[in-house]
Structure 1
Amino acid sequence: MQLLEGTLRTYPWGSRTLLAELRGLPAPSPTPEAELWFGAHPAAPSMLGGHPLDDIIAADPEAALGARVAGEYGNQLPFLVKLLAAGEPLSIQAHPSREQAQEGFSRENSQNIALDDSRRNYKDPNHKPELIVALTPFRALAGFRPTERTQQLFATLGGLDRYSSMLVTDRPEEGLRAVFTTLISLPTTLRMSVLNDVKAGAETTTNSGAEPWIVDVAQTFLQLTDRYPGDVGALAALMLNLVTLEPGEALYLDAGQPHAYLSGLGVEVMANSDNVLRGGLTSKHVDVPELARVLNFAALERPHAKSTKNGGAEHFELPIEDFRVSRHTLANGDTLQVDTDGPAIVLCTAGRAAIGDLELQPAQAAWIPAAEPSVAFTSTGDTPAELFLVSA
């Protein structure tokens, strides 16, 4: 068991304060700090004793991962842990299923599209289900809103009547598919006209007596159009659930579910993949046909992740096998016992926790290989420690 050094990613949408303050560093930071990666993804592996974690795993997969995980996941760590800090909205995006990723990865390889080519959609043959647990108030767009509520929203905003009629309540998935693909494919002149009409309606709505959720959506639309003028992603966003997570609440997003994180700090755990299909709110590559091909157009009535609590432990209920996630709140002297036949990462997000000579502080993590015997982390600070345990 050793300290796992996270790898910082400085994307333009990152925050200049959230990660810096969590790490106890001066804020604002010189550049936007978007993500701190803890894992073995080849694009940005964490360091363990001065060596990349993916190299350490490759040198002895069974010791690092255990026979079960090494055999099931081809000697690869099946998950990636991140601290994600959104200072500005991320792109509207979705991730493929494993089958879609395998086919897309093979197809783009056969087309000789380089892995670092900006047009590349599939960087690996893996799926990317993900869980985000809020550490601060966290706003996100997540999954398609039920048809009836989107019809109500369109009627209130105005400018979308011709598209609202396409939302067929007895065949909701067909209607959502028709409207979404139509909106994100609008030619430039028509797109700008629709955006202007909806913007006028949204400005009126924010000062009206509309239901609070509609006002919230209207205000968010105006913020997105100000940040990304003329971007069709603002129209696509009108069809997605707008969610505000309080600290400790979580979202789970499976293959094909559209989403965009808007603001806040959270712990994100995902399958070990970098496959992203984008649909707007970005200057990066957007592939509308491929996005439409992988999207799940079933409405997501409640995107919040379910969990069970037992004392200071909370276990998130996930429909996948790639990773397990639990959150532990430890008073001074309390312990977290880690005993697994596979690999594990323990991430500290509050307080302090020690094991032997190693003490974890916020934004620090420990790597526990499968060969390690059972270990225990003990809360040592004056304030409760918060630890996330991720294992396979």
Structure 2
Amino acid sequence: MGAHPADPAWVVSDGDRVSLIEMIGADPGSTLGKRVATDHGEKLPFLLKVLAAEEPLSLQAHPSLQQAKEGFARENRAGIALSAAHRNYKDDNHKPELIVALTPFKALAGFRDPVRTAKLLTELAGSAMKPYCDMLAEQPDSAGLRALFTTWITLPQQPLRTLLDDLTDGCVRHLKGAKNGRFRREAQMLLELAEHYPGDAGVLTASLLNYAELAPGEGLYVSAGSLHAYLHGMGVEVMATSDNVLRGGMTPKHVDVAELLRVLDFSPSDALPVPVHNASPGGTAEYIYDTPAPEFRLSRIELDATGLHRSVSLGLIDPGPQILVCTRGGVTARCGADEIDVPQGGALWVPARDPEVILHAHAARTQVFRALVPAVG
């Protein structure tokens, strides 16, 4: 749901079906508002998605804004078609993103503290993996992570398969061992990835990353250079308007190792849920996910047709565009004299010219996600 040139959303209004790009282009002032049109070049700066990962998705990272601009210009100069399978940069924008779980959600995000990773590898390693455990144990920092990652992702197929067999054997031993093994979740995750992606170096890489399990309502923010993969679950995802993806494994698609290494951030981090705050404690039921992204702000609205929060007013002091998606129940949206029903799974485009939208719940435990462009300062 957005206005990326590669695949824009379509808006149905008065029986007509219009591309969101065309709608914005025809009148950016009233659709985006003066602030957003000025700050973001008369383009909708965010994309909103509902993501359903039945199986593990690819390991990937996104470039910074500067890297995206340079990479896009470089590939244009080289004459690489936008549709080419080996093209890395489809546009000149970065792609910070936030995923909020609708169901229990599993993900990999960012490089784990190398000291802890060295302990995990030592616990799971057999004879083939031991030299690589020692490599990280001797240099437990971002440089050590980079060296180990580079070694693994460039291995020939036969030694790679030997290492993968050694790692999976170690995972089986660990799971059959002490009931309270400290790396049981990681061992189970690696076995599942090895089953989905046999012979793929990305399975080795997964052992270096933070493994996170999100409860419904929890969110995970992914910044530039962070290697990540969504493994299983359903969620609402919002991101800057971009299709720039550098893949790092667990995929049949193109993997450009040199460009990936240029983009990746090997600084250790934690995969922690993003902070959430109530927009107006005691007044509404809107919970905002705090991220540093200037292109988007996502919030979760909880309504109950039988309880306290039956309706909510979505007004903006500094108007801008919004997209709403109903993920549970259903709502009626009212703006002035206009009224529209939005069922579960339905999405609503709200242009900047609509000063206030009132949502009224149809059912108990109604849930709506709201994406907009935050005001700066």
TM-score by length of 1: 0.87
* Residue equivalent to 2:312: 335
CA drift at 1:302: 3.4
* Residue equivalent to 1:370: 352
Q: What is the letter of the counterpart of residue 330 of structure 1?
A: L
* Residue equivalent to 1:78: 45
- Equivalent of 2:34, from 56, 59, 67? 67
Q: What is the letter of the counterpart of residue 307 of structure 1?
A: V
Q: Structure 1 residues 169, 363: CA separation in 2 closer, same or farther (over 3 Å shift)?
A: farther
Q: Structure 1 residues 51, 194: CA separation in 2 closer, same or farther (over 3 Å shift)?
A: same
Q: Which has the larger radius of gyration?
A: 2
Unaligned runs of 5+ in 1: 1-37
What does residue range 22-41 of structure 1 map to in structure 2 within 5 Å?
A: 38-41=1-4
* Residue equivalent to 2:5: 42
How large is the Cα RMSD of the aligned pairs?
1.5
Q: Structure 1 residues 336, 149: CA separation in 2 closer, same or farther (over 3 Å shift)?
A: farther
Q: What is the letter of the counterpart of residue 349 of structure 2?
A: W
In 2, Cα distance between the equivalents of 1:302 and 1:263?
16
CA drift at 1:303: 3.2
Runs of 4+ that moved beyond 3 A: 168-171, 210-213
In 2, Cα distance between the equivalents of 1:182 and 1:99?
27
* Residue equivalent to 2:369: 388
Aligned length: 354
Over residues 251-277 of structure 1, what are the superposed CA-to-partner deviations in whole Å (9 max), with x where a residue is unaligned?
A: 000000010001110000000000000
In 2, Cα distance between the equivalents of 1:292 and 1:111?
20
* Residue equivalent to 2:68: 101
Over residues 35-70 of structure 1, what are the superposed CA-to-partner deviations in whole Å (9 max), with x where a residue is unaligned?
A: xxx111122211112011011111111111111111
Over residues 134-179 of structure 1, what are the superposed CA-to-partner deviations in whole Å (9 max), with x where a residue is unaligned?
A: 0001111111111121011101111422122232687611111111
CA drift at 1:292: 1.1
Q: What is the letter of the counterpart of residue 64 of structure 2?
A: S
TM-score by length of 2: 0.91
What does residue range 169-318 of structure 1 map to in structure 2 within 5 Å?
A: 172-209=141-178, 211-309=180-278, 310-311=281-282, 312-318=285-291
In 1, Cα distance between the equivalents of 2:94 and 2:181?
36
Contact 1:143–1:303 (CA under 8 A) maintained in structure 2? no
Q: What is the letter of the counterpart of residue 219 of structure 2?
A: A
Q: Structure 1 residues 254, 210: CA separation in 2 closer, same or farther (over 3 Å shift)?
A: farther
In 2, Cα distance between the equivalents of 1:153 and 1:269?
33
Contact 1:253–1:303 (CA under 8 A) maintained in structure 2? no
Q: Structure 1 residues 62, 335: CA separation in 2 closer, same or farther (over 3 Å shift)?
A: same
CA drift at 1:92: 0.4
Q: Structure 1 residues 188, 361: CA separation in 2 closer, same or farther (over 3 Å shift)?
A: same
Q: What is the letter of the counterpart of residue 110 of structure 2?
A: G
* Residue equivalent to 1:31: none
Q: Structure 1 residues 363, 213: CA separation in 2 closer, same or farther (over 3 Å shift)?
A: farther
* Residue equivalent to 2:299: 326
Contact 1:180–1:236 (CA under 8 A) maintained in structure 2? yes
* Residue equivalent to 1:379: 361
CA drift at 1:210: 6.4
Is residue 164 of structure 1 aligned with residue 164 of structure 2? no
Is residue 353 of structure 1 aligned with residue 331 of structure 2? yes
Over residues 7-52 of structure 1, what are the superposed CA-to-partner deviations in whole Å (9 max), with x where a residue is unaligned?
A: xxxxxxxxxxxxxxxxxxxxxxxxxxxxxxx111122211112011
CA drift at 1:384: 2.2
Q: Structure 1 residues 55, 251: CA separation in 2 closer, same or farther (over 3 Å shift)?
A: same
- Equivalent of 2:81, from 114, 119, 124? 114
In 1, Cα distance between the equivalents of 2:130 and 2:107?
26
Contact 1:326–1:389 (CA under 8 A) maintained in structure 2? yes
Q: What is the letter of the counterpart of residue 321 of structure 2?
A: P
Contact 2:68–2:92 (CA under 8 A) maintained in structure 1? yes
In 2, Cα distance between the equivalents of 1:338 and 1:114?
43
Unaligned runs of 5+ in 2: none
In 1, Cα distance between the equivalents of 2:294 and 2:179?
43
